[in-house]
Structure 1
Amino acid sequence: MGKKDDFIQNITNGYQTKGESIILGGAMLDGEAIADTFVKIPLKTLNRHGLIAGATGTGKTKTIQVFSEQLSQAGIPVLMMDIKGDFSGIAKEGEEKSFITERHAKINLPYKTAHFPIELMTLSEQGGVRLRATVSEFGPVLFSRILDLNATQSGVVSVIFKFCDDKKMPLLDLKDFKKVINYITEEGKEEISANYGKISTSTTGTILRKIIELEQQGADLFFGELSFEIDDLMRIDENGRGYVNIIRLTDIQDKPKLFSTFMLSLLAEIYQQMPEKGDAEQPELVIFIDEAHLIFNEASKVLLDQIESIVKLIRSKGVGIYFVTQNPMDVPSGVLAQLGLKIQHALRAFTANDRQAIKKTADNYPTSEFYKTDELLTSLGIGEALVTALNEKGIPTPLVATMMRAPESRMDILTESEIQEINAKSKLVKKYSELIDRESAYEMLTKKINEAEVIATKQQAEKVVKKATKLEPTTTEVVGKSVLKILTSATFIRGAFGVLSKMLKK
């Protein structure tokens, strides 16, 4: 047997599947595609997570599109972060162009055009399904980690959550949380001190500043009701295809704190609510996190530990997470070690640091007698990638240079009118469009403070009336009118007291 025959046998055996699988493309050797040598990924191992990496312009976006289409076709819902606005075209059929049919002819894989069911979602005021969560749903631990608080500050956050639970006051949005902070440092200081211990105003001041920083990145739009229900990510259309849920993030590229806040809350919610699936035949949901460095670059050590923990545990819930980034080194080693599927597009070597990074990247892949990995990483063409996955027994497959199949849907974005048409037909847009502002901590504490002021006002007014009876008749009449104003106008309380005090001193 020659080299080519050995290669074909190696790849055919390595990517053989008994159960359902998806085809990413065809194997390549010495820069040429080998017909009928398909790179197949078992559905059974897709909850083992993965990485899609490569320099700008090497084909990562189209790979994600192909991956999403194949998952949808297999009845697996997808959630993807669309930071550059590239994926909405999945909703429309592609075009059968000559360069696409030629590519598919080389690997002997039939090409057809298709469209797929999508939902457009948003964290901001863009059109689409509004994604929200309440502060209470985060809980004190995750909320503290999002704010990057130390142990003392986190303890105060726990006290705030406990106080609100004890008083049956919902924490829905950031307005609620800020109101509680103000209350425990001012009007409710004695109450908190007696029941929960003393709290430093410098500590609450730091927490408040952190919340304001989060608000400036648009989190005030994210926190609130109606909370998004994760079951709405698991929808299948009438043809048995999984929905591709696209979160439009084009307007929050400069707000990584909001992005990481949303991602962590979503992953935590999925982990808490979804039942254990064990060794299922296919995942319940696959999540693509584009520009993953936005999460990791802004994350503290504690937050990174949280992400790593969730990635380890969530696969047992039938959820696969795929990180998309330019350089694999953007992903922390603890997370990288959890990833079963790796799709590596070309890297560029312009500097000594680039060459060093490429060498480290090559070391992360299985050795191959057919490739010099570090050299191949810089010579891959657009739409070509190195692939290694896990077979159905959980064993790494051979490293293979792959000519990726082309997307079946439109390789361009939707027009504004097409976006509006999709949103107009969406049941989820209607469901989550209403902003609910029910009575919560803000309103309840405001009411409590106002009632306390009214009681204090009445008590003070009674004292004023008693003293006023000892004054001259004309003066008593004036005082009586002032007291009436005190009792009927909450906004006039402080000014009226000042006038009365001066009169009494005379």
Structure 2
Amino acid sequence: MSQKEKFIQHLADGQIYKKDHIILGTGILDGEALSGATIKIPLKTLNRHGLIAGATGTGKTKTLQVIAEQLSLKGVPSVLMDLKGDLSGLAQPGHANDFILNRSAKIGVEYDPMGLPVELMSISKEKGVKLKATVSEFGPVLISQILDLNSTQQGVIALVFRYCDTHHLPLLDLKDLKRVLQFITNEGKEAIKQEFGQVSAASVNTIMRKIIELEQQGAERFFGEQSFDVNDFVRTKDGKGVISIIRLTDIQSKPKLFSTFMLSILSEIYETFPEQGDADKPKLCLFIDEAHLVFGNASKDLLEKIEAIIKLIRSKGVGVYFCTQTPTDVPDSVLGQLGLKVQHALRAFTAKDRKAITKTAENYPISEFYKTSEVLTSMGIGEALVTALNEKGIPTPLAHTLVRAPITRMDILTASEIDQLVGSSDLVPRYNQDVDRESAFEILNRKMDELEAEQEKANLPGPAARTARRTPQDQSLIEELSKNTMVRQIGRTIFRELTRGILGSFSRKR
């Protein structure tokens, strides 16, 4: 048996699948793409997460595009976080040429260009479905993360959330959070001191400044209602999974906002989706581009929470895929949880690069057919080293792979095409409307106005004297706030006595 025949047999022995699968490409040996060396990934293990890595310009994004396409064709929806703005072309068919047809023939697949069902989404000014969440749903841990607070300031935020939960003060947007912070150091200072202890005014002032900085980055567009229901990620159209593309091109310079937003989605999905068990295909797959922005800005405590979610969320039928330049961008604790690894070429320009390549090679199974560290620097565009998990959970043989070409457009949509896609969306009318119902800001202001009116009637000292000495009317205000249960409903109940999840976010039941 020749070396090529041994290689093909070696791949076949590791890829005996009884269930459905997707085809990623074909194996390469000694520089030749081999017919019959098909690289298949079983749908059954695509909830075991994955990594798509490689230097700039080696084809990572197109590989991500191919995997999302193949999942959609199998009826599996996906969410793509698009920081570079080059994934919207999934909505339009690709264009066949001699190069693409030749590549498809080598792989043994038919090139059938088509557009796929796409939903454009945004947390900023970009066109699409507006993704929003309330401050309360975000939770104290993620709010502290996005504001980059120290341990003392995190304690203040935890106090605020606890106070608002127990006293029924809805925290919907940033103005609510600022108003409650003002309240605990002014009108409600004495009541807070009795219930929780002294709160540092200096810490509150620092938090207020950081909230203002966050508002200047455009975060006020994200915090508020109507909150996005993560179940709307799980949709199909004409049997194909809907690809939700979250357009993040205008927040590339705001990694805190991006990373915290991503973690809030993971947390909400984990808390909302039911246990799925060992299904034949995933319920949803998330692709996180530029993953180094997530891990590079995360504290040790938050990294532990990310690791916990990655371990647990697969039982909900959800696969998470990180797209970055080198595997070293992902912590070892998370890297060890990833079943599918697609490694594009790396470049060795410096001694540091060469060390990184050696370390990267150690993350992949040893192969009798390749010297991994050499292949890593010699692969062309659209080629990758691939290993996955077979249906028994065993890593498949490492294969130098010629990745198939995307069947959708390998370019962005035009402005008119984006307008047409957004205009035909079923979700835009539901979510692209501002809702500003009564919340902590209005409730506290109204109570202050009522108290001042009572003081004027009784000819009592004004608000300035209240901070110096609390009157019986002031105490009655605190008691009334504590008993207040006014939370107006819009379609569902948000605020109630519930526990907070892994990341401290508010679990919503519908």
The change in CA–CA distance for 1:192 and 1:75 in structure 2 (over 3 A counts) is same
- Once the two structures are superposed, residues 145-171 of structure 1 have per-residue CA deviations (whole angstroms, 9 ceiling, x without a partner) of 443434433332222122212322100
Q: Partner of 2:111 in structure 1? A: 111
SS state at 2:9 partner = helix
In the TM superposition, residue 209 of structure 1 has moved relative to its aligned partner by 3.1
Q: Which amino acid aligns with 2:55?
A: A
1:445 equivalenced with 2:444 (yes/no)? yes
In the TM superposition, residue 384 of structure 1 has moved relative to its aligned partner by 0.4
Q: Partner of 1:223 in structure 2? A: 223
Q: Partner of 1:165 in structure 2? A: 165
1:199 equivalenced with 2:180 (yes/no)? no
In the TM superposition, residue 243 of structure 1 has moved relative to its aligned partner by 0.2
The question of whether the paired residues in 2 share the 8 Å contact of 1:145 and 1:302 is answered with no
SS state at 2:296 partner = helix
Q: Which amino acid aligns with 1:453?
A: E
In the TM superposition, residue 114 of structure 1 has moved relative to its aligned partner by 1.3
SS state at 1:298 partner = coil
Partners of 1:305 and 1:129 in 2: CA distance: 31
Partners of 2:331 and 2:287 in 1: CA distance: 17
In the TM superposition, residue 309 of structure 1 has moved relative to its aligned partner by 1.3
TM-score by length of 1: 0.89
Q: Which amino acid aligns with 2:250?
A: D
The question of whether the paired residues in 2 share the 8 Å contact of 1:16 and 1:40 is answered with no
Identity %: 61
TM-score by length of 2: 0.88
1:353-432 alignment, distance < 5 Å: 353-432=352-431
SS state at 1:121 partner = strand
- Once the two structures are superposed, residues 269-307 of structure 1 have per-residue CA deviations (whole angstroms, 9 ceiling, x without a partner) of 000010111111111000000011111111121221221
SS state at 1:427 partner = coil
The question of whether the paired residues in 1 share the 8 Å contact of 2:146 and 2:257 is answered with no
What is the Cα-based RMSD across aligned positions, in Å? Answer: 1.5
SS state at 1:198 partner = coil
1:179-328 alignment, distance < 5 Å: 179-237=179-237, 239-328=238-327
Partners of 2:201 and 2:68 in 1: CA distance: 50
Q: Partner of 2:125 in structure 1? A: 125
In the TM superposition, residue 352 of structure 1 has moved relative to its aligned partner by 0.6
Partners of 1:196 and 1:118 in 2: CA distance: 49
Give structure 1 regions of 4+ aligned residues with deviation exceeding 6 angstroms.
none
The question of whether the paired residues in 2 share the 8 Å contact of 1:146 and 1:303 is answered with no
The question of whether the paired residues in 2 share the 8 Å contact of 1:22 and 1:43 is answered with yes
Q: Partner of 1:12 in structure 2? A: 12
Q: Partner of 2:468 in structure 1? A: none
In the TM superposition, residue 197 of structure 1 has moved relative to its aligned partner by 2.3
In the TM superposition, residue 184 of structure 1 has moved relative to its aligned partner by 0.6
Q: Which amino acid aligns with 1:73?
A: L
Partners of 2:57 and 2:193 in 1: CA distance: 59
- Once the two structures are superposed, residues 176-213 of structure 1 have per-residue CA deviations (whole angstroms, 9 ceiling, x without a partner) of 01100001101111121223322121222233233233
- Once the two structures are superposed, residues 241-273 of structure 1 have per-residue CA deviations (whole angstroms, 9 ceiling, x without a partner) of 000000011111001111012101100000001
Q: Partner of 1:34 in structure 2? A: 34
1:38-187 alignment, distance < 5 Å: 38-187=38-187
Partners of 2:7 and 2:461 in 1: CA distance: 97
In the TM superposition, residue 461 of structure 1 has moved relative to its aligned partner by 7.1
Q: Relative to structure 2, which stretch is displaced further, 192-201 or 113-122? A: 192-201
SS state at 2:282 partner = coil
1:344 equivalenced with 2:343 (yes/no)? yes
Q: Which amino acid aligns with 1:197?
A: G
- Once the two structures are superposed, residues 36-84 of structure 1 have per-residue CA deviations (whole angstroms, 9 ceiling, x without a partner) of 2110000000000000001111111110111000000000001001111
Higher helix share: 1
In structure 1, the gaps of 5 or more residues are 464-506
In the TM superposition, residue 462 of structure 1 has moved relative to its aligned partner by 10
SS state at 1:140 partner = helix
Q: Which amino acid aligns with 1:8?
A: I
The question of whether the paired residues in 1 share the 8 Å contact of 2:455 and 2:461 is answered with no
Q: Which amino acid aligns with 2:417?
A: E
SS state at 1:47 partner = coil
Q: Which amino acid aligns with 1:328?
A: P
The question of whether the paired residues in 1 share the 8 Å contact of 2:20 and 2:43 is answered with yes
The question of whether the paired residues in 1 share the 8 Å contact of 2:145 and 2:260 is answered with no
In structure 2, the gaps of 5 or more residues are 463-510
Aligned residue-pair number? 462
Q: Relative to structure 2, which stretch is displaced further, 403-412 or 161-170? A: 161-170
The question of whether the paired residues in 1 share the 8 Å contact of 2:8 and 2:36 is answered with no
SS state at 2:458 partner = helix
Partners of 1:68 and 1:248 in 2: CA distance: 16
The question of whether the paired residues in 2 share the 8 Å contact of 1:21 and 1:41 is answered with yes
